[in-house]
Structure 1
Amino acid sequence: MTPHELWTALPQDTRERVDALVVRRKQILAVKEMRESGVAPRPDLRDCVDLVAARMEILADRLVPLPPRDVDALAAKAAALPGPPVALELAWDGDTQGWILVLGAVLPGSSGRPHALAHWQEAVWTEPLATARALADRLGVPLRGPGDDGPPHVRAE
């Protein structure tokens, strides 16, 4: 089903809820809203993801801005954590749009996932890596994780 076909099949109230979620960058919830809309047959996951991407382009001027990801903003975010980080960690993650570089703060005694400070979904990784290194230097903690080699699927073999 094309995005246009799915959009026209959705009830008006569902379209309004989907757009409200897309504007707030709640993509997964927008997909869930479509899949639970009562449209028969139930929309395919890939079709819903494609429609969310199309709606993001259409509503681009209304999207909630991404939070700042500069060193000062991230240092303030780290300072607001329950304790001072003992390390920063970079990790690759993927979603339907591609690879994401996630920067997390490891807290003392934590055995779970690091506290997310920022994420980047971009083709050029030098800026996020430089930001992560500068933040680690400012906080006086090590930076762990991938280096300059880029997402797993584009690494030189």
Structure 2
Amino acid sequence: MATYNHILVALALDQSGRLVLKRACALAELFGARLSVLHVVEYIPIESGELLMTAPVDLTQQLEQQSRQQLEAICAECSIAAENVHTATGPVTPQIQQLAEALQIDLIVLGHQPRHGLAAWFNHTEENVITRARCDVLAVHVG
């Protein structure tokens, strides 16, 4: 059986994220692994007439700072050190991949919520991470 030395948990800043983090903390404790946490702030498209633009840099930085504060508060509940807490801005899957490679992650843990109807056609972050990751991925059912 493979042993995990460094686990990366990618979270949403909501109750489902807290559930995913608790599961990842339990896994890290079970394996005696280091745990790193990531929240990605996605680019916000702004409609300007007929043009679709990304949010101004200052707004993006403000959102990332707010997300960082929320993430640190959630991570404090599980006694995760600030140096293991990461935020990034951009498309979610590539940001997860980049950090996982940079930190030499053995296991990525993220939430999975089944989608129905039109929602099933959009936002397949979990599936994208699973198919593109170079390490094991655990999708925690949060639906």
TM-score in same-fold range (> 0.5): no
Higher RCO by CA contacts (8 Å cutoff, separation 6 or greater): 2
TM-score (norm 2): 0.29
Q: Which has the higher strand share?
A: 2
